[in-house]
Amino acid sequence: MPYNNVRKGRDFEVINSEIHRIETVFSSSQYGSKRIQQLFLIEDNINFLNNGSFGATPRIVLSAQQFWREKMEMQPIRFMTKELPIYQRSALALLANFLHADVSSMAFVQNATTGMNAVIRSQMMKWSAGDEILTTNHVYGAVRNTLLYVASCTHATIIEASIPFPIMNEQQIVQAIESAITDKTVFLCIDHITSPSGIIFPIKQIIELAHSKGIPILVDGAHAPGMIDLYIEDLQPDWYTGNCHKWLFAPKGCAFLWTHPKHQKDTHPTVISHGYLLGYIQEFDWTGTNDFSAYLSISTALDFYAATGAATLRAYQSQKAIEIRNLLSSVWNTPLASPDSMIGSLAAQQIPSHLWPDIQDHQAYAEALHDVLWEKYAIEVPVIAFSKTIWIRISVQVFNTDEQYHYLAEVIKKMRKKEILAMMKSKNQA
């Protein structure tokens, strides 16, 4: 049954006509307006400045997800065995088109962590004592753990190229990676947009560097889809994984893994199921019984993303993130941490000096500061211990308002260290 026929079903007509209404909401109101906020379920009267961690799914996309769940439950056997393979490939074709990627190299995975694990744990069979796996000090914590796990299995060594933060220019990133490459380096694992520092790496240059040295490269693009325009076939990495639930408005549990054709035979999902040795697509399309509705909702997520203005939204997000970090920098009197060109929808700013911790455990201090912001001021924003200091990383999403960022700036400016230390104490006693 062609995918398009399914989309003509009664429920989908409602969803499609709702998308047209949403287009007019975006074309007639400003980002951050009440009408746009109402397209989401985010609670009223909170300052939700952390789209970056898990994204926020619009109501319309959740309705589409429910449509797919109901469709599955109407005849589960027919759905799983006959319809799902077709729907899933159709959904992947839409996503591939959006990413400028060849659909035959694409697979859905539940999240970037799963994509990273699939590649790293497939490739580890080739690694042994003496081999070096190169990443950077900006690597995401869960990916670092995956690398530590494979190091313990293979006795390969994990090397972290040290990239300064604050940073002056892109060349510092390329140079730090290049100077950490040795004749023992067998694999590169590099972020496209970093988690703790929220900066965009010059990934094309890094991929070219890896290939000039004959080293395969896995790109962690967890934050990239929707935040920046992606042309995966032009980048030509060896592998690329990215989330659709962070910046592309998909339901949670919707991500992809792109694998270069030359690696598809030896790239396997971490969970092996019926598709083993039947080819890349079959292996990844089924890794056991699951709720596939997040994948199938991608068409509605892409429609919603288009309705936001897409290119206009991306330009707005980076311009707003730059404006807000400039504001935080001047109110908190801490330096800007990167050139504007490295900023997408995220920006990290160092906290003011009157709040710098004088304790060893920066992680516990960051967690306590987070909890003070949330519990006393209803501000949800990540507080990150990184590069020997404490950072606050703001996100810019369509529902955020200038007032929320100004409130954050003032709350932090007026906060006293004793509030944070008291929170630490109360958590220790709990």
Ligand X SMILES: Cc1ncc(COP(=O)(O)O)c(C=O)c1O
User: Which listed range, 74-82, 140-148, 258-266, 369-377, lies at the site for ligand X (CB under 6 A)?
Assistant: 140-148
Residue 379, interface with ligand X (CB under 6 A)? no
**Angle subtended at Cα 222 by Cα 350 and Cα 176, rounded to the nearest 5 degrees:** 60
Q: At what angle do helices 141-154 and 112-123 cross, to 10 degrees?
A: 20
Residue 380, interface with ligand X (CB under 6 A)? no
Q: Shortest gap between Cβ of 243 and ligand X (angstroms)? A: 5
| Residue 49 vs 143, nearer CB to ligand X | 143
Interface residue with ligand X among 71, 223, 268, 325 (CB under 6 A) is 223
Phi, psi of 197 (to 5 degrees): -105, -15
Q: Which residues contact 182 (CB under 8 A, 6 or more apart)?
A: 132
Torsion-angle region of residue 142: left (phi > 0), alpha (psi -120 to 50) or beta? alpha
In 1-156, which ranges are E strands? Answer: 47-48, 106-109, 132-136
Q: Shortest gap between Cβ of 255 and ligand X (angstroms)? A: 6
Interface residue with ligand X among 124, 180, 222, 420 (CB under 6 A) is 222
| Residue 256 vs 399, nearer CB to ligand X | 256
| Residue 224 vs 420, nearer CB to ligand X | 224
Show the tokens assigned to 155.
């006795």
Residue 285, interface with ligand X (CB under 6 A)? no
Residue 113, interface with ligand X (CB under 6 A)? yes
| Residue 143 vs 180, nearer CB to ligand X | 143
Q: Shortest gap between Cβ of 195 and ligand X (angstroms)? A: 3
Q: Shortest gap between Cβ of 291 and ligand X (angstroms)? A: 16
- Alpha-carbon dihedral sign for residues 45, 46, 49, 51: negative
Build a one-symbol-per-residue string for 185-214: x at contacts with ligand X by CB under 6 A, - elsewhere: ------x---x-------------------
Build a one-symbol-per-residue string for 160-179: x at contacts with ligand X by CB under 6 A, - elsewhere: --------------------
- In our burial notation (b when 16+ CB lie closer than 10 A, e otherwise), range 356-391 reads ebeeeebebbbbbbbbbbbeebebbbbbbbbbebbb
The size of the interface with ligand X (CB under 6 A), counted in residues, is 13
Q: Shortest gap between Cβ of 397 and ligand X (angstroms)? A: 15
User: Which listed range, 144-152, 220-228, 289-297, 384-392, lies at the site for ligand X (CB under 6 A)?
Assistant: 220-228
Residue 65, interface with ligand X (CB under 6 A)? no
Interface residue with ligand X among 22, 64, 112, 373 (CB under 6 A) is 112
Q: Which of residues 235-264 bind ligand X (CB under 6 A)?
A: 243
| Beta carbons within 10 angstroms of residue 172's beta carbon | 13
Q: Shortest gap between Cβ of 143 and ligand X (angstroms)? A: 6
Residue 53, interface with ligand X (CB under 6 A)? yes
User: Which listed range, 135-143, 228-236, 285-293, 295-303, lies at the site for ligand X (CB under 6 A)?
Assistant: 135-143
Name the nearest CA neighbour of 203 among 177, 168, 185. Answer: 177
- In angstroms, how far apart are the furthest CA atoms of the chain? 64
| Residue 108 vs 140, nearer CB to ligand X | 140
Whole-number Å distance between alpha carbons of 347 and 342: 9
Whole-number Å distance between alpha carbons of 291 and 312: 33
Parallel, antiparallel, or unpaired: how do β-strands 389-395 and 346-350 relate?
Answer: antiparallel
Instruction: Enumerate the β-bridge partners of residue 134.
Output: 159, 188
Residue 230, interface with ligand X (CB under 6 A)? no
Whole-number Å distance between alpha carbons of 23 and 385: 40
CA distances from residue 385 to 23, 133, 138, 246, 356 in whole angstroms, order as listed: 40, 24, 12, 22, 11
User: Which listed range, 20-28, 36-44, 216-224, 304-312, lies at the site for ligand X (CB under 6 A)?
Assistant: 216-224
Instruction: Note the residues at the interface with ligand X (CB under 6 A).
Output: 53, 111-113, 140, 142-143, 191, 195, 220, 222-223, 243
